Structure 1
């Protein structure tokens, strides 16, 4: 038996012991609990509710509170299983005191183990408060051996045992961007053979240990195998560099920690005994210079948990000599504006669903590092899927488009980890159906416009795709310099021309593209202050742009659709989260008319992109659940009971029916349908209830059917 197998056996035995001896507390690894049985084939279709298992992996204690809330607190409040993994101890300089010359005590000796323990205490308090309302709610703490050869501390909240914390306790870089070999960055780049632990003063983990690069990957992958997540949340592995300084735009631990998560997810995906899973990446430090995304009420709630973590009242409620929270955060619990913001690094595209030949709908999403797809042959036909295109490394954020003959093309970015650190990179890829309604051809690479410093940048956005009247495809991406780049086919089904620069500066998120009634293609991209556009004066002419739209600042994600002779944009308003909309109508004076004054659609609050089709608007309401509204009706969201990941997509069918889709935390496709008539299926709701497109028993049956040909096989 191999060393890894022996350690896994020891881990399983310890988990069984913990489960048997802990009164009222379940085992920390959900994979060893009672499996949820899929519904029977004759079970009625039920409205969607939040299900699944969420695993978050962050570099430091507080990255989750600053950058993943309110997604985190709302997942906990919905009762889903939530575990957070902290890769480093976050020991910093070892001084649990405010960053202020007036408050720092130079005579006080540094104690990194104690400061790391104080941060643990603050995190436990914040999670207990999110889960129970009581920051003093008890935790069960254990040392558990890892597959990497070390040990991790695992904390289980006694009152809510589905809430777990896993402390890997590796040494942090102790510098935002400094080239310190003893760090996750140094380990990834092979500047050190191993990275040692920084154990906290109160941890039950006693033997010191160190990990090689492969052992870190194996340890994280083993945590995935224990918890069997359906949603993995992590930080941004490719935040890019500052043009002015050349430094990374984010903390190096955030960036390289996320790369270790990528490698672990790739390894975990090879396991047959796991559910499907999606990955959501979050923006961290770059939020400081971007507009706030949260409404005041949600931002205030987020700040409450940060203040608990920061130990604002300084009362000794925890009984730890190290302290009950992170006093460095106490002078500025809002961070650099982070308490008012949550933003996804990828997955804001709303163009991942398209209608193909014969009215068949196609939906695409990255699951298990592959491109998954679902399809439905007609309004009354059942959805089928997920099925998978061959090939791994696919990132979140797909773009789908219909060709003139009814074939579907899907575009994505693909990350290659490589064996050596310099082999890490991201490229644009696409696959096209060989025939309408048929199987997809192999992935074809369009490379990357980022040809220098691939490891440091590779910050390509998700793609936006347009098709001209002849069937030639054009793809648009934001590059790592935050400008717009494009490639166009020379002929339909032909090769693509070289990358072209369309300019712009400071672009955020994913670009969007839409074709107006005259056949002219428009491209839009947000900046921190406004929205820029590129427009063809006539069909197939070179683009004019970037041109100003006169629109105010948005939170970043955009959606667009043709309306009459013009284009209507949808976006979130900074500081309120309300959906704003504006129309640019053709006026005969040039390719771009001034946008109309911004009006509001949907209800107050919410964040992230919105999907639009016909009169149906889909997105997050203030409570964070996927909700619908009428673009032409009163401003109010009709909420569901389901949290989701990424962005919703929507398609208007020829008969006027609008179909919206989103990916739940359970990694399942969920849909809502709005009829073409003015009648309401459920009172004043603009659409029917959200429900899972493919029931769990159908997924299980499809998995058994495909087992003989391999998990990644595709069927037409």
Structure 2
């Protein structure tokens, strides 16, 4: 098929096949002006339905728009369900999305509508917000899961995803009053290629997507996927497109968000964030007769959860003194390395397709090990700098819960008092499992079950191999004794609304209802006023001092440093895309984070002292 790909924003060109040109728009889109070589944060959401990003990716979505970052939403289906007036209903849902976006941008709900041709055989609808032209929406209009009129019947997007032979062609809808003169037909490969072209055109530095692998413990009313099938397939199509985009020279920080099952998790947004999110969705509601501000929407709107907490142990020091930072980009392990005072990177590793979230720890010889979760097999895998060969450690569900491998969490690792590495994960039964390196530095095949129930994603491990895990009602704790673990009494205090951190005689977690920090220096946690809306916690221990940090929705980092019982608080302004990490050394504590353009940011402060602003590692 002859292809005429899109033109992208700005003046920086991606290598090779990503040079692009836009055709058939009524007028060329506005071109943001960038200083030569200056990076600019840009967001893209690839979602299934017209309200999914408003519900499941907020307040992150609103924060980017209000910071005036270029933001584009790409909606794969028309969302028409089985309505008899499918094209009219699809148009109303589009109007609701435009209204909500205008509300987030704080400008009138006035848009320029255009037809955007991706090639000779396919077109999509492009809407540009008149008063804020960096805000744009793209509607592809594939049939929704519940539409019996789609060619082949219901479950159209799922059937398309499963059609490796590319025999199925799904016909799009033509929303009333829209920009499409006729329906178009897409195979699976053509949908992926369309998304690759859109990535090349808009060049997002942050790509948001839905949950490609929902935890099977929740949303059991949705058979097979434990979530709306379109949500899951949209996330998988986005991941496939991100991989192809990366192969062609593009790159973006990928963030995945939980969907329906957030209703089963504690409220984790601050009161102000909840009110704002409800008001934003209130701008959508009048356009869609099937939704409301009551249940079940009220439950979803008071929460926002990442699918895979990336953790705060993704940086460390190797035996030769080199500092490493790791991230997963389009499923591929990528690292930054510092020798002396200079960071280099990013450098891809390859060899495995991973879910976001890695954990590093140095073994008895000082060699750094990188633990991750394999996306294809749901196993824990490990590699080391230099060799970069992957070793598979299997799954704690291998024998006892073989049908629940998909619910195994992201690993966290540490070295125990005997010098052996221990890796821990949430298992498929909702407890915690551990695997301890043998004295010969090899790995056994049998996982140890620490017990526990209802454990949520995101474990914490501290010095002395203390382990903490949040459930939906409390925080569980274990301490290593010999080669086993002993359960300790749960922490008393507010219910947790996210993963804990532990170490240096301190345990902290975001509390239900506000996301404010609950901090314990013993068995009882006390709320810390002024920390509402924090998530992505991290903790560094140096001597008798700690550095506790958490991320706000605007990307800034709130830092508490000093003795556990008397932390001094400060704020690091910036635009972190996700959780920060820390490395302790002779020069103090180095905080690390990834910015909205994917660059590594660092800052170093003395133990218990104040951190200066962020500097680009690279």
TM-score by length of 1: 0.77
For the 8 Å contact 1:603–1:636, the answer to whether it is kept is: no
> Match for residue 422 of structure 2?
474
Distance 1:90 1:543, change over 3 A: same
> Match for residue 562 of structure 1?
504
* Per-residue deviation, 1:391: 2.8
Matches within 5 A, 1:523-542: 523-536=467-480, 538-540=481-483, 542=484
Matched, 1:56 2:31: no
> Match for residue 602 of structure 2?
671
Matched, 1:409 2:382: no
SS at match of 2:116: strand
Matches within 5 A, 1:420-569: 425-433=377-385, 439-450=386-397, 458-516=406-464, 521-536=465-480, 538-540=481-483, 542-545=484-487, 548-563=490-505, 568-569=506-507
* Per-residue deviation, 1:186: 2.1
Structure 2 distance, partners of 1:195, 1:89, is 12
For the 8 Å contact 2:394–2:445, the answer to whether it is kept is: no
Distance 1:271 1:459, change over 3 A: farther
Structure 2 distance, partners of 1:115, 1:455, is 39
For the 8 Å contact 2:431–2:451, the answer to whether it is kept is: yes
* Per-residue deviation, 1:609: 1.7
* Per-residue deviation, 1:86: 0.7
SS at match of 1:445: strand
Matches within 5 A, 1:609-624: 609-613=536-540, 614-621=545-552, 623-624=554-555
Deviation string 1:133-183 (CA, Å, 9 cap, x unpaired) is 2342x21111222369432111111222211111111111128xxx97532
> Match for residue 286 of structure 1?
261
Matched, 1:229 2:204: yes
Structure 1 distance, partners of 2:530, 2:205, is 29
> Match for residue 130 of structure 1?
104
Structure 2 distance, partners of 1:673, 1:13, is 41
> Match for residue 607 of structure 1?
534
Deviation string 1:418-441 (CA, Å, 9 cap, x unpaired) is xxxxxxx433221123xxxxx243
For the 8 Å contact 2:25–2:116, the answer to whether it is kept is: no
> Match for residue 26 of structure 1?
30
For the 8 Å contact 1:85–1:167, the answer to whether it is kept is: yes
Structure 2 distance, partners of 1:7, 1:620, is 38
> Match for residue 187 of structure 2?
212
In structure 1, stretches of 5+ residues that fail to align are: 28-32, 40-49, 95-109, 312-324, 417-424, 434-438, 585-594, 679-685, 695-716
Structure 2 distance, partners of 1:17, 1:197, is 19
Deviation string 1:178-227 (CA, Å, 9 cap, x unpaired) is x9753222222339823332331122012212222222222212211211
* Per-residue deviation, 1:334: 7.5
For the 8 Å contact 2:278–2:293, the answer to whether it is kept is: no
For the 8 Å contact 1:89–1:168, the answer to whether it is kept is: yes
* Per-residue deviation, 1:634: 7.6
Total equivalences in the alignment: 596
TM-score by length of 2: 0.88
Distance 1:5 1:248, change over 3 A: closer
Bigger-Rg structure (1/2): 1
Matches within 5 A, 1:308-347: 308-311=283-286, 325-332=287-294, 335-347=297-309
Structure 2 distance, partners of 1:205, 1:174, is 22
Matched, 1:15 2:14: no
> Match for residue 688 of structure 1?
612
> Match for residue 370 of structure 1?
332
Pick the aligned partner of 2:560 from 619, 622, 629. 629
Deviation string 1:384-418 (CA, Å, 9 cap, x unpaired) is 222222335222111011122221111112323xx
For the 8 Å contact 1:602–1:617, the answer to whether it is kept is: no
Pick the aligned partner of 1:270 from 238, 244, 247. 247
SS at match of 2:297: coil
Deviation string 1:676-704 (CA, Å, 9 cap, x unpaired) is 475xxxxxxx211122222xxxxxxxxxx
Matches within 5 A, 1:177-196: 181-190=154-163, 193-196=168-171
Distance 1:35 1:526, change over 3 A: same
Q: Which gives a bigger RCO, structure 1 or 2 (Cα 8 Å, sep 6+)?
A: 1
For the 8 Å contact 1:394–1:412, the answer to whether it is kept is: yes
SS at match of 1:465: strand
Structure 2 distance, partners of 1:339, 1:308, is 13
Distance 1:280 1:121, change over 3 A: same
Greater displacement, 216-225 / 613-622 = 613-622
Distance 1:635 1:139, change over 3 A: farther
Greater displacement, 663-672 / 487-496 = 487-496
- The RMSD of aligned alpha carbons is 3.1
Deviation string 1:563-582 (CA, Å, 9 cap, x unpaired) is 3xxxx211111112211111
Pick the aligned partner of 1:115 from 89, 103, 120. 89
